[in-house]
């Protein structure tokens, strides 16, 4: 039986309640050390802001300052907003709108890309992995492998062109951020990029559609999780919903218009040997408007075996490697084939629990 998309459910005339299969028990999301009080700290404006233009065009002094800020952001937050990033405003808007058009296609047209295998290059579906889930998430997705080999659905007609350009711009920006992050770890500028073989980087484009939900307090867009890749670059329409876990509290993230949100993901936690932690985040839903977010999961090349950077570990001192080595393709497969839950994939390769 084909699972109904969330969009088709949300489009039902006069819908006042959600199907019971979408009712999310808050416990499903609780990490032991999280404060249950969901009230935001009111400090979302202190989410670090990184001025990308100073990283690439600033004086050496300005660049050093941004590198230092990047390091602090990765260590204390695992999360930052990037401004002056060079990805055009128009392109960002077009990317969001063309995704909306994709989700507006007829169900039969979208079903052409229905998920069969988790490593298929183009996948359309609902929730995260309904095969293993008891409760579904209020979210439809379109996931596309866009690098090292580029893929695109053939409809809507302009999708390919916009995606290709968006992908190029995001790659350029991410490469520079990774250089800065490498320096912030006291490594050579190109060290992380070499270790991850970013030239053949695996980039997964994931568009998320969270239709408005008549009972938002009972449903979840995505549960608390960390991302599989090195860095995730997130773009969204102006509808709030993302929360990050910061100092044991869930914080609402309301991005500055036209900024891009970046978060540390699992491969960077591994490479930095735990210094930079992949941040837990989740997506809430609302009963007012459809939210769209687009995550670019920039990771190592699929064949790269990732482990803590040798320069950052020393077996004989108090700095032993904290993670086992694992090929990125295998990591992706474990992540996509299981439940999305906290840091469960990373926990599989931790050496000290």
> Which partner, Fe ion, ligand AKG, none, binds residue 208 by CB below 5 to 8 Å per kind?
ligand AKG
Residue closer to Fe ion by CB (options 227, 266) is 227
Site mask for ligand AKG (CB under 6 A), range 240-279, x = bound? -xx-------------------------------------
Angle at 288 between CA 221 and CA 45, to 5 degrees: 70
**Binding segment toward ligand AKG, per CB under 6 A, in 4-12, 89-97, 233-241, 301-309:** 233-241
Cα–Cα separations (whole angstroms), residue 137 to 17, 72, 116: 15, 33, 19
Tell me the closest approach of the beta carbon of residue 177 to Fe ion, in angstroms: 17
Residue closer to Fe ion by CB (options 227, 269) is 227
Site mask for ligand AKG (CB under 6 A), range 279-318, x = bound? --x-x---------x-x-----------------------
Residue closer to Fe ion by CB (options 221, 300) is 221
How far apart are the C-alpha atoms of 116 and 294, rounded to whole Å? 22
**By the rule CB under 5 A, 227 interacts with Fe ion:** yes
Residue closer to ligand AKG by CB (options 233, 322) is 233
**By the rule CB under 5 A, 29 interacts with Fe ion:** no
Q: What tokens appear for 99 in the block?
A: 């995704």
* # binding residues, Fe ion (CB under 5 A): 1
**Binding segment toward ligand AKG, per CB under 6 A, in 15-23, 65-73, 90-98, 234-242:** 234-242
Tell me the closest approach of the beta carbon of residue 232 to ligand AKG, in angstroms: 6
Q: What tokens appear for 104 in the block?
A: 């507006």
**Binding segment toward ligand AKG, per CB under 6 A, in 6-14, 57-65, 193-201, 236-244:** 236-244
Q: What tokens appear for 246 in the block?
A: 């910061």
**By the rule CB under 6 A, 10 interacts with ligand AKG:** no
**By the rule CB under 5 A, 269 interacts with Fe ion:** no
Tell me the closest approach of the beta carbon of residue 283 to ligand AKG, in angstroms: 4
Please pick, from the candidates 183, 227, 266, 269, the single residue that binds ligand AKG as defined by CB under 6 A.
Answer: 227
Residues numbered 193 to 212 that lie near ligand AKG (CB under 6 A) are 206, 208
Residue closer to ligand AKG by CB (options 187, 294) is 294
Tell me the closest approach of the beta carbon of residue 17 to ligand AKG, in angstroms: 23
How far apart are the C-alpha atoms of 199 and 184, rounded to whole Å? 21
How many residues does the structure list for the chain?
353
Tell me the closest approach of the beta carbon of residue 231 to ligand AKG, in angstroms: 12
Q: Which residues bind Fe ion (CB under 5 A)?
A: 227
For binding to ligand AKG (CB under 6 A), which residues are involved?
A: 206, 208, 222, 227, 234, 236, 241-242, 281, 283, 293, 295
């Amino acid at each position: 039986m084909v699972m109904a998309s969330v969009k088709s459910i949300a489009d039902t005339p006069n819908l006042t309640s959600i199907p019971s299969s979408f009712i999310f028990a808050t416990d499903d999301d609780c990490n032991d050390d999280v404060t249950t009080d969901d009230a935001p700290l009111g400090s979302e404006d202190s989410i670090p802001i990184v001025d990308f233009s100073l990283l690439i065009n600033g004086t050496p002094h300005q660049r050093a300052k941004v590198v230092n800020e990047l390091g602090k952001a990765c260590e204390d937050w695992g999360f930052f907003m990037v401004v002056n990033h060079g990805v055009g405003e128009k392109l960002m808007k077009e990317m969001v709108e063309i995704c909306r058009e994709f989700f507006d296609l007829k169900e039969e047209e979208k079903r052409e890309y229905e998920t069969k295998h988790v490593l298929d290059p183009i996948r359309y579906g609902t929730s995260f992995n309904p095969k293993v889930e008891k409760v579904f998430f209020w979210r439809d997705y379109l996931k596309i492998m866009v690098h090292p080999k580029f893929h695109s659905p053939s409809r809507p007609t302009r999708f390919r062109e916009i995606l290709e350009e968006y992908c190029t711009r995001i790659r350029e920006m991410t490469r520079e951020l990774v250089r800065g992050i490498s320096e912030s770890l006291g490594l050579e500028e190109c060290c992380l990029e070499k270790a991850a073989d970013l030239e053949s980087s695996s980039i997964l484009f994931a568009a998320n559609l969270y239709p408005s939900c008549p009972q938002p307090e009972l449903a979840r867009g995505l549960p608390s999780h960390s991302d599989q890749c090195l860095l995730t670059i997130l773009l969204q329409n102006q509808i709030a919903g993302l929360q990050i876990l910061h100092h044991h509290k869930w914080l609402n993230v309301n991005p500055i218009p036209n900024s891009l949100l970046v978060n540390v993901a699992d491969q960077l936690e591994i490479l930095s040997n735990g210094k930079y932690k992949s941040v837990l985040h989740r997506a809430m839903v609302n009963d007012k408007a459809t939210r769209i977010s687009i995550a670019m999961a920039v990771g190592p090349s699929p064949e790269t075996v990732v482990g803590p950077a040798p320069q950052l570990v020393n077996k004989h001192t108090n700095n032993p490697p904290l993670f086992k080595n694992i090929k990125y393709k295998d990591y992706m497969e474990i992540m996509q084939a299981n439940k999305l839950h906290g840091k469960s994939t990373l926990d599989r390769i931790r050496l000290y629990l």
